Amino acid sequence: MDDPGARSVLAGRRPAADTVSVPTGADGRLPLAAARNAGARRALDAGADLLVFLDVDCVPGPDLLARYARTAADGALLCGTVAYLPPPPPDGYRLSTLPALAPPHPGRPVPGDTEVVRDGDHRLFWSLSFALTAATWRAVGGFCEDYTGYGGEDTDFARTAAAHGVELWWVGGAPAYHQHHPVSRPPVEHLDDILRNGRTFRDRWGTWPMEGWLHEFARRGLVTHDPRTDTWRRTGDVPQGVPGGR
């Protein structure tokens, strides 16, 4: 997504990496949904029968791909565990020590390395690390590209998957490690994206996503909710100097 350095970083790596350029629009918002769809199209055109999505700030565990491949089945979204790492030491993270640095996120199921927890709650789906077969991707139809910038596109994807009868499975033994970077809670720097994408979600599904953030914004006087129209609107300026990140 407008990252000219990606090709040079990956040049000469083995196995070779195929990069797909996805430009941002005139508004400058990251086209996360469109980028995931573009990557999936390239993989499917190359004959892939399994798609694995991993956010750019996540390091895969050594068995992530193999575990997803062994577990994959049509009609299922597979989600491995994700651990949020502390800040790295001066010389960076060492791959061999990542499992000891942080436990998996406590807000999601944590199956054992050989376990799979089926019939998961689609509301807990996250796009940091997930996999699905090519047939399942085609059944779901990919990510809705009406979403741009921060938030909502992964919640919409999970809702669409559920509507197509696709189950959510939590897969043990496929860990990913989220590298540390500054974030703000609530993500006030993404307030406008959240309002816009939240409205898109409501128009499609009848309810608002990210309500925890919206209520926290309201507590801070940044937004207000009109119960007559079920509409959230911005009422205040976003504080300056807040950290970015997703």
The residue count of the chain comes to 246
Mean per-residue pLDDT, 129-146: 98
Ranges of CATH 3.90.550.10 domains, the chain: 6-178
Q: What is the pTM of this model?
A: 0.92
Q: How high does pLDDT run on average in the chain?
A: 93
Token pair 């640095």 is at which residue?
Answer: 101
Mean per-residue pLDDT, 126-148: 97
Identify the band that residue 3 occupies on the pLDDT scale cut at 50, 70 and 90.
confident
**Fold classified for 6-178:** Spore Coat Polysaccharide Biosynthesis Protein SpsA; Chain A (3.90.550)
User: What is the DSSP track for 80-107?
Assistant: EEEEEPPPPPTT---GGGHHHH-PBPTT
Identify the band that residue 240 occupies on the pLDDT scale cut at 50, 70 and 90.
low
Maximum pairwise Cα distance, the chain: 58
- pLDDT digits over 170-228, tens only? 999 999 999 999 888 899 999 999 999 999 999 999 999 999 999 999 999 999 999 99
